[in-house]
Each structure stands twice: as C-alpha cells, then as structure tokens.
C-alpha cells in the first residue's frame, strides 16, 4: 500500500488532488474515475467521508485529461466538504478508474500526516 503526505492539506480549504496514470496501452483512454476518502481501508465506498466522480468533461468534481499514454485524474474537493472532516493523523483514499476498453483498476492508498484546521 502506497502512502502520501497530507500534512499540507487544511480542513476548510479547497483541495485539488492530482493522480497520474502512466503507461496506458496505445488507444486506451481513461473514461471515468471515482475517488473515495475513508477513515479505514475496510470502509465501504458508500460510507466514505468524501466521494467524487470525474469524467473527461470538466465539472465541479474534477476532470480527466489524457496525452498519449498518460492520464491525469484531477479531483476537486471543495471547502464545504473538507470542513466536515475531523483533523486526524491518517485517512485512506481509493481511486477507481474505468477505461474505454472496459477494464477497471483501483488502488487503496494510505494518506499519512495531519489535516490541520484552518
């Protein structure tokens, strides 16, 4: 399980989270992705503290862009959602993506650090 540092994230601030997907086969594009922020890796997606869905269309939840075999999944979490979080040492997030060839992939990742109240 990979880890990221969240010590620069503030409760009550807007977050822009960028996830890079590299090495996609030629002709394969990322069509949609879902982001889930959880207290525990075993928490069901439906019970996530924050959930966001993104596609290649820009929305208030984010957007997927792709150049060649590299896609960037940009997830926007507004201050109204981060304000509902309790500062904590570790949270987990899950990113699930679906490609144009019908395959899907996901990763469960621990986020280490402290959320700081703003």
Q: pLDDT tens digits for 68-112?
A: 999 999 999 999 998 888 776 667 888 888 899 887 776 655 555
What is the pLDDT at residue 19?
86
Identify which of 113, 114, 111 has the alpha carbon closest to the alpha carbon of residue 38: 111
What is the pLDDT at residue 118?
46
What is the pLDDT at residue 65?
97
pLDDT, mean of residues 57-66: 97
Cα 61 from Cα 4, distance rounded (Å): 21
Q: Which residue has the higher pLDDT, 4 or 59?
A: 59
Cβ(29)–Cβ(21) under 8 Å?
no
Q: Is the pLDDT of residue 54 over 90?
A: yes
Q: What is the pTM of this model?
A: 0.83
Cα 92 from Cα 29, distance rounded (Å): 26
Q: Which residue has the higher pLDDT, 66 or 40?
A: 66
Q: Report the residue count for the chain.
A: 118
Query: Domain-by-domain residue ranges, the chain?
Result: 3-117
- Cα 23 to its chain centre, rounded Å, is 19
What is the pLDDT at residue 88?
67
CATH number for the segment(s) 3-117: 2.60.40.10
Q: pLDDT tens digits for 5-36?
A: 566 677 788 989 888 888 888 999 999 999 98
């Amino acid at each position: 399980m990979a880890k990221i540092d969240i010590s620069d994230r503030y409760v009550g601030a807007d977050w822009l989270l960028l996830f890079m997907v590299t090495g996609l086969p030629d002709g394969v594009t990322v069509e949609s992705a879902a982001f889930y922020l959880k207290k525990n890796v075993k928490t069901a997606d439906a019970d996530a503290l924050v959930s966001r869905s993104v596609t290649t269309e820009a929305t208030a939840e984010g957007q997927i862009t792709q150049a060649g075999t590299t896609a960037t999944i940009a997830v926007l979490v507004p201050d109204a959602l981060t304000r509902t979080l309790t500062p904590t040492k570790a949270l987990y997030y899950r990113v699930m993506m679906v490609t144009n060839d019908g395959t899907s992939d996901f990763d469960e990742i621990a986020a280490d650090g402290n959320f700081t109240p703003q």
